[in-house]
């Protein structure tokens, strides 16, 4: 009450002009306070609205990429299953392809009329562990049975001393388009100076095998699939 009495007493001592000035000042201050509150509330609600809009955008993007994510997940799972089930060597798989492909022209020294009759295989394979989270190392471990992730890239070299160029291209296409877990990793070919239709070629193919325990899942299957692809 003392504060109210003091305020009334102050107003009583003011002239009418001072009261008008004081009322105008109080009005300005009141308007400024109300405007500040309104602006603060607008900023708060604006921030909330931005968060809501951002959440909606993220949700929409998630819905858009969900089918692709599922597709990639299914592909990764299929690749993991293929690696786990793979017991064939790169040599046996590629030899099956070579035996089924006939030569389109005669090759001197060929023992028959298929691609398998003009190829020689390197004796050793290059077995490289597939590592997760690091650049793939090229350290060669012949016939190694140990790998950090349980997955090995097993490379097999084959040499064509002379092969029709078209037949070589058809063979490479069959490897790449085939359903087997077999991939071309290196090609070194050169034309014969006396026969431009034939080439000498060294081709390296690779397969992947899971060398871990039978009850283990391939560690880092997604990364392994990325390497293979």
11, 20, 69 from 4: Cα distances, Å: 11, 19, 70
What confidence tens digit (pLDDT) does each residue in 25-41 have? 888 888 888 888 888 88
- 227 and 130 Cβ atoms separated by less than 8 Å: yes
Q: Identify whether residues 43 and 142 lie together within a single domain.
A: no
More confident residue, 112 or 14: 112
What average pLDDT does the structure give for the chain? Answer: 78
CATH code (residue 97): 3.30.70.60
Find the mean pLDDT for residues 49-64: 86
Q: Identify whether residues 71 and 109 lie together within a single domain.
A: no
pLDDT band for position 134 (50/70/90)?
low
Q: Identify whether residues 37 and 142 lie together within a single domain.
A: no
Which of 107-116, 118-127, 208-217 is predicted with the least confidence, judged by mean pLDDT? 208-217
Pairing of strands 119-129, 151-164: antiparallel
Structural domains of the chain, count: 2
Which of 28-32, 37-41, 98-102, 136-140 is predicted with the least confidence, judged by mean pLDDT? 136-140
Its pTM surpasses 0.85: no
pLDDT at 143 over 70: no
């Amino acid at each position: 009450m003392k504060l109210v009495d003091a305020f009334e007493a102050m107003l009583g001592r003011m002239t009418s002009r001072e009261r008008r000035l004081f009322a105008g000042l109080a009005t300005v201050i009141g308007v400024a306070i109300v405007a500040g509150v309104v602006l603060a509330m607008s900023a708060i609600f604006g921030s909330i609205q931005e968060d809501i809009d951002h959440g909606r955008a993220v949700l929409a993007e998630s819905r858009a990429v969900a089918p692709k994510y599922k597709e990639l997940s299914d592909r990764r799972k299929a690749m993991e299953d293929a690696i786990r089930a793979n017991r064939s060597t790169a040599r046996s798989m590629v030899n099956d392809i070579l035996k089924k492909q006939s030569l389109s022209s005669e090759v001197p020294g060929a023992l028959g009329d298929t691609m398998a009759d003009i190829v020689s295989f390197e004796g050793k394979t290059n077995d490289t562990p597939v590592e997760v989270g690091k650049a793939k190392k090229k350290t060669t471990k012949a016939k190694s049975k140990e790998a950090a992730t349980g997955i090995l890239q097993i490379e097999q070299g084959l040499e064509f001393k002379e092969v029709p160029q078209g037949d070589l291209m058809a063979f490479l296409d069959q490897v790449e388009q085939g359903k087997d877990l077999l991939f071309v990793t290196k090609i070194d070919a050169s034309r014969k100076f006396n026969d431009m239709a034939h080439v000498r070629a060294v081709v390296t193919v690779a397969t992947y095998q899971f060398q871990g325990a039978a009850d283990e899942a391939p560690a880092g299957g997604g990364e392994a699939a990325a390497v293979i692809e």
